[in-house]
Amino acid sequence: MENQLFKVVLNHSDEIVRLWMDEVYKNREKDYTATISNELFESTNREFVNVIFSSIENHGQTNGIENFAERLIYLGWPLSYLTDGMQVFRRVTVHYILKQLDAIDVEMCMEIISGVDHWIDPIINQLVNEYSGSWEHTVSLQKLALQELSAPLIPVMDNITIMPLIGTIDTERAKLIMENLLNGVIKHRADVVLIDITGVPVVDTMVAHHIIQAAEAVRLIGSTCILVGIRPEIAQTIVNLGINLEKFPTKSSLKRGIETALELTNSKIVSISDNQQGIEEILDSLDRERGK
Amino acid sequence: MDFQSCVTITKEWDIVGARQLGRDIAKKIGFGTVDQARIATAISELARNIYLYAGTGKICFETMDNLNSKGLRIIAIDNGPGIQDLTQVMTDGFSTSGGLGAGLPGVRRLMDEFDVHSQEGEGTEINVVKWLR
pLDDT in tens, A118-168: 888 888 888 899 899 999 999 999 888 887 777 888 998 888 999 999 888
Q: Are residues A38 and A115 in the same domain?
A: yes
Please report the sign of the dihedral spanned by the C-alpha atoms of residue A65, residue A66, residue A69, residue A75: negative
Residue of A187 and A7 predicted with greater confidence: A187
Q: Are residues A7 and A24 in the same domain?
A: yes
Note whether residue A42 is domain-resident: yes
Q: Which of A92, A124, A147 is the last residue of a domain?
A: A147
Q: What is the mean pLDDT of residues A190-201?
A: 92
Note whether residue A123 is domain-resident: yes
Closest chain A residue to the Cα of B92, Cα to Cα: A242
Does the pLDDT of residue A235 top 80, yes or no?
yes
One-letter amino acid for residue A202 of the chain: V
Q: Are residues A125 and A162 in the same domain?
A: no
| Mean pLDDT over each residue of chain B, to the nearest integer | 89
Q: Which of A110, A131, A147 is the last residue of a domain?
A: A147
Does the global pTM surpass 0.80?
Answer: no
Q: Are residues A67 and A103 in the same domain?
A: yes
Note whether residue A280 is domain-resident: no
Q: Are residues A114 and A130 in the same domain?
A: yes
Q: Are residues A119 and A158 in the same domain?
A: no
- ipTM, 2 decimals? 0.84
Mode of pairing for the β-strands spanning A192-199 and A160-166: parallel
pLDDT band at B57 (very low <50, low <70, confident <90, very high): very high
Taking the CA of residue A197 and the nearest CA in chain B, the distance in Å comes to 14
Within 8 A by CB and 6+ apart from A238, the residues are: A203, A208, A230, A245
Note whether residue A281 is domain-resident: no
Does the pLDDT of residue A69 top 90, yes or no?
no
Note whether residue A207 is domain-resident: yes
A204–B45 CB contact, under 8 Å: yes
Taking the CA of residue B3 and the nearest CA in chain A, the distance in Å comes to 25
- pLDDT number for residue B116: 92
Q: Which of B41, B46, B92, B109 to mutate to test the interface with A (most CBs of A within 10 A)?
A: B41
Within 8 A by CB and 6+ apart from A217, the residues are: A178, A181, A182
Q: Are residues A23 and A112 in the same domain?
A: yes
Residue of B4 and A164 predicted with greater confidence: A164
- pLDDT number for residue B73: 93
pLDDT in tens, A209-230: 999 999 999 999 999 999 999 9
Q: What is the mean pLDDT of residues B72-80?
A: 92
Does the pLDDT of residue B1 top 50, yes or no?
no
For B110, the closest of A208, A234, A240 (CB atoms) is: A240
Burial class (CB in 10 A: 0-12, 13-18, 19+), B115: exposed
Note whether residue A270 is domain-resident: no
Q: Are B99 and A205 in contact (CB under 8 A)?
A: yes
Residues of A in contact with B101 (CB under 8 A): 205
pLDDT in tens, A52-65: 888 877 776 667 88
Does the pLDDT of residue B66 top 90, yes or no?
no
CA–CA separation, B105 vs B87, rounded Å? Answer: 10
Considering its fold, how many domains does chain B have in total? 1
pLDDT in tens, B95-125: 887 778 888 899 999 999 999 999 888 899 9
Considering its fold, how many domains does chain A have in total? 2
Q: Are A205 and A243 in contact (CB under 8 A)?
A: yes
Q: Are residues A129 and A160 in the same domain?
A: no
Closest chain A residue to the Cα of B12, Cα to Cα: A170
Does the pLDDT of residue B2 top 60, yes or no?
no
Give the residue numbers spanning the domain of A190.
154-264
Q: What is the mean pLDDT of residues A252-272?
A: 89
pLDDT in tens, A6-16: 777 777 788 88
For A209, the closest of B12, B44, B100 (CB atoms) is: B100
- pLDDT number for residue A29: 64
- A146: phi then psi, degrees, rounded to nearest 5: -65, -40
Write down the H helix ranges in A101-204: 106-150, 171-187
- pLDDT number for residue A71: 86
Residue A209 sits at the chain B interface (C-beta within 8 Å)? yes
Q: Are residues A143 and A158 in the same domain?
A: no
Of A82, A84, A88, the residue nearest A20 (C-alpha) = A88
- pLDDT number for residue A212: 92
Give the residue numbers spanning the domain of B123.
2-132
Give the CATH number, domain containing residue B32: 3.30.565.10
Half-sphere exposure of A195 (CA within 13 A, CB side): 30
Q: Are residues A141 and A15 in the same domain?
A: yes
Does the pLDDT of residue B46 top 90, yes or no?
yes
Interface of B with A (CB under 8 A): 12-13, 16, 19, 33-34, 36-38, 40-41, 44-45, 48, 92, 99-103, 105-106, 109-110
B103–A236 CB contact, under 8 Å: no
Report residue A111 CA to chain centroid gap. 45
B13–A204 CB contact, under 8 Å: no
Residue A146 sits at the chain B interface (C-beta within 8 Å)? no
Q: What is the mean pLDDT of residues A254-264?
A: 92
Note whether residue A272 is domain-resident: no
Note whether residue A276 is domain-resident: no
Of B123, B120, B116, the residue nearest B84 (C-alpha) = B120
Q: Which of A95, A127, A147 is the last residue of a domain?
A: A147
